[in-house]
Amino acid sequence: MKIAVLPGDGIGTEIVAEAVKVLQALDLQFEMEMALVGGAAYDAYGHPLPDATLQLARQADAVLFGAVGDWKYDTLDRPLRPEQAILGLRKNLGLFANFRPAICYEQLVGASSLKPELIGGLDILIIRELTGDIYFGQPRGRRVATDGLFPGAEEAFDTMRYSRPEIERIAHVAFQAARKRSHRVTSVDKANVLETFQFWKDVVSDIGKQYPDVALDHMYVDNAAMQLVREPKKFDVVVTGNMFGDILSDEAAMLTGSIGMLPSASLNASNQGLYEPSHGSAPDIAGKGIANPLATILSAAMMLRYSLNQEAAAQRIEAAVKTVLNQGLRTADIFSAGMTRVGTVEMGAAVVKALT
């Protein structure tokens, strides 16, 4: 089992170090190889996704990724910015299915901005299509408008598009995931306004006929955003496009109290995957030793489950995380009165200890 370890920038290096310790504490044989990505790679090689890093990721069974980005790169040309590394990896590895679970741990119910009864026991799975939609559609650019409200004015444009096979394959992923959960899928679209999402809705409905044991319903994205804070537990598996998924999964993340707790997986058709926390490189707290490593540690658990076929080891990590929360250990982002405040390294060490 070969794992490419790409810590990236900011807190990425701190949190990935803890996840690596947790993986090393399992009695499994991994080959782990590290490479630079994002701003760190730009500083060293002049590109956020150097060829050597991409080759390593391609050859690995899975990629454990930290986070990339820092405000100091904001003035670079877009193709050289750290965040382009993630888009490049997604595209090159064909990672079209993004799994973002939003689980509210009972011990952290108080950390959410929502009432405990709304989120206690919350366990939803957002499946976001990751390689299509307006983020990748061509043409895009800037030009002088020849029509519209202000002809002659400068304007910018992007193209929203989805092909039938792109929608079909993400729909299959969602229905199959629902079969392992409560057999319910909500497909989120904007079919009332956008032709792309009327097509999405039609194709998801067609695929749904192959899964008669899974209940499918459809919801407009504006309503879904509202229902997620009104009655989040009514969702189970949510499947949606790239842009709506981007926004809804961050919204769902915050239901659970802290983005520092949430893992994610991005998979291709052969279950090769990239595993990363849902948050970014948090330059505001980088180097302070206070970042929460649990999202990355839980991402490593997802990696064991989905790409490395080690379900028992995945469950061991997840159980260890629950143990440290039960022990009252909290990083600053999830701290509340009466708990024990710990830093990144102490939290990682506590998870390692709870494994054994």
Catalytically active residues are 135, 190, 222, 246, 250
Q: Can you tell me the distance from the alpha carbon of 218 to that of 204, in angstroms, rounded to the nearest whole number?
A: 9
Q: Can you tell me the distance from the alpha carbon of 29 to that of 36, in angstroms, rounded to the nearest whole number?
A: 23
Asked if residue 83 binds ligand NAD (CB under 6 A), the reply is yes
| The one among 16, 36, 68, 204 contacting ligand NAD by CB under 6 A | 68
Site string for ligand NAD, 269-308 (x = CB under 6 A): -------x--xxxxxxx-----xx--x-------------
Q: At what angle do helices 195-208 and 164-179 cross, to 10 degrees?
A: 50
Question: What SS3 class is residue 81?
Answer: coil
User: Which CB atom, from 232 or from 260, has the smaller least distance to ligand NAD?
Assistant: 260
Greatest CA separation for the chain: 68
Q: Please give the distance of CA 67 from its chain centroid, rounded to a whole number.
A: 11
Site string for ligand NAD, 19-58 (x = CB under 6 A): ----------------------------------------
Asked if residue 67 binds ligand NAD (CB under 6 A), the reply is yes
Q: Can you tell me the distance from the alpha carbon of 277 to that of 295, in angstroms, rounded to the nearest whole number?
A: 5
Q: Which residues pair with 184 in a beta bridge?
A: 215
Q: Can you tell me the distance from the alpha carbon of 291 to that of 284, in angstroms, rounded to the nearest whole number?
A: 10
User: Which CB atom, from 67 or from 97, has the smaller least distance to ligand NAD?
Assistant: 67
Q: How far apart are the first and last CA of the chain?
A: 22
Q: What's the closest the beta carbon of residue 194 comes to ligand NAD, in angstroms?
A: 25
Asked if residue 333 binds ligand NAD (CB under 6 A), the reply is yes
- Stretches 64-72, 208-216, 217-225, 297-305: which one binds ligand NAD (CB under 6 A)? 64-72
Handedness of CA 310, 312, 313, 314 (dihedral sign): positive
Asked if residue 259 binds ligand NAD (CB under 6 A), the reply is yes
Interface with ligand NAD (CB under 6 A): 11, 15, 67-70, 83, 86, 259-260, 276, 279-285, 291-292, 295, 333
